[in-house]
Structure 1
Amino acid sequence: MSHLSAPPPVCETPPSRHEARLGPLGTLRLLQRLALWHRRASSRARLALLGAEALCDIGLSEADRRAECGLWFWQGRDR
């Protein structure tokens, strides 16, 4: 009679807390948030380059521009 031993257990690394929470919808939300932050950063960089006449054309004052460009990319404005 041979002594067969059971195969060693498969050791799986448990998912990290973040991986476990993301899932398909969480990943989509993360990508949407990253896209929003990129749009904000790009828009504010372009806004910073506009001259006084262009600001007037879009209805913004210099104070409006400074306030908007002073925000971090993750900060939004409620309008």
Structure 2
Amino acid sequence: MRAKVTVMPKAGVLDPQGKAIGHALAGLGFAGVGEVRAGKVIELELAETDPVKARAEAEAMARRLLANTVIESFSVTLD
């Protein structure tokens, strides 16, 4: 089963990469772009076939390694 973990900075946390992207987009002439937040997506191929167990396993991975839960939030989707 494939799991996708999306990790984003929490609201209120400074996001210098997002700011840099927003500034670069404005410099390229893309007007009307508001706040930009940059995150990461991690795709995992899991041996688990039970969707409930697979989600729990991916969430445990995110909490323990993939996301810094002090400053980042995450979501898990299964394919």
TM-score (norm 1): 0.25
Larger CA Rg, structure 1 vs 2: 1
More strand by share: 2
Structure having greater relative contact order (Cα 8 Å, sep ≥ 6): 2
